[in-house]
Amino acid sequence: MRGDRRQRSRGWLKNSVVGLALAIALPLGVSAVGAGTANAALDPSGFDFYVDSASMGPVKSRVFRAADGNTSRVVYALDGMRAGQDLSGWEINTDITHALTAANINVVMPIGGQSSFYADWNAPSSILGVGGGAGSSGSSSLSSSGSSSGSGAFQILGGGPGKSYRYTWETFLSQDLPNALSSRLGFSTTRNGVFGLSMGGSGALTLAAYHPDQFSFAGSFSGYLNPSAPGMREAIRAAMIDAGGYNVDSMAPPWGPQWLHMDPFVFAPRLRDANTRLWISAASAIPGAGDVSGVMSVIQGMPLEGLALANTRAFQARMMSLGANNVTYDFPATGVHNWNNWNAEVYRMLPDLSNNIG
Give 57-67 pLDDT, tens digit per residue.
999 999 999 99
Q: Is the dihedral of CA 345, 296, 249, 83 positive or negative?
A: negative
Number of H helices, E strands in the chain: 12, 10
Query: Tens digits of per-residue pLDDT, 40-58?
Result: 579 999 999 999 999 999 9
Query: Tens digits of per-residue pLDDT, 160-207?
Result: 899 999 999 999 999 999 999 999 999 999 999 999 999 999 999 999
Split at pLDDT 50, 70, 90, the class of 317 is very high
Split at pLDDT 50, 70, 90, the class of 289 is confident
Alpha-carbon distance of 311 to 107, in angstroms, equals 27
Alpha-carbon distance of 91 to 107, in angstroms, equals 11
For residue 89, give the nearest of 35, 165, 53 by alpha carbon.
35
pLDDT of residue 149: 36
pLDDT of residue 271: 98
pLDDT of residue 295: 55
pLDDT of residue 155: 74
Query: Tens digits of per-residue pLDDT, 319-353?
Result: 999 999 999 999 999 888 989 999 999 999 999 99
Residue 105 has pLDDT above 70, yes or no: yes
Residue 82 has pLDDT above 60, yes or no: yes
Greatest CA separation for the chain: 61
Q: Which helix (H) or strand (E) holds 280?
A: strand 277-281
Residue 108 has pLDDT above 70, yes or no: yes
Residue 266 has pLDDT above 90, yes or no: yes
Mean pLDDT over 224-250 rounds to: 95
Q: By percentage, how much of the chain surpasses pLDDT 70? A: 78
153 vs 201, residue with greater confidence? 201
Residue 39 has pLDDT above 80, yes or no: no
Please report how many Cα atoms fall inside a 13 Å half-sphere around the Cα of residue 304, on the Cβ side. Answer: 32
Catalytic sites, residue numbers: 198, 305, 337
Beta bridge partners of 108: 63, 76
Residue 96 has pLDDT above 70, yes or no: yes
Measuring CA to CA, how many Å separate 301 from each of 114, 192, 212, 222, 337? 19, 31, 33, 11, 4
> What is the pTM (predicted TM-score) of this model?
0.86
- Mean of per-residue pLDDT scores for the chain: 85
Mean pLDDT over 94-121 rounds to: 98
Alpha-carbon distance of 209 to 261, in angstroms, equals 10
pLDDT of residue 285: 85
Phi then psi for 326, rounded to 5 degrees? -110, 25
Q: Are 125 and 166 in contact (CB under 8 A)?
A: no
Alpha helices, H only, the chain: 2-25, 89-93, 96-102, 169-171, 177-185, 199-210, 232-242, 248-251, 257-261, 264-273, 295-321, 339-355
Neighbouring C-beta atoms of residue 158, cutoff 10 Å: 18
Q: Are 222 and 342 in contact (CB under 8 A)?
A: yes
Residue 305 has pLDDT above 90, yes or no: yes
Q: Is the dihedral of CA 223, 229, 230, 231 positive or negative?
A: positive
For residue 30, what is the DSSP state? S
Residue 10 has pLDDT above 90, yes or no: no
Split at pLDDT 50, 70, 90, the class of 300 is confident
What are the structural domains, with CATH classification, of the chain? 2-355 (3.40.50.1820)
Please report how many Cα atoms fall inside a 13 Å half-sphere around the Cα of residue 262, on the Cβ side. Answer: 30
Q: Are 95 and 343 in contact (CB under 8 A)?
A: yes
Q: By percentage, how much of the chain surpasses pLDDT 90? A: 71
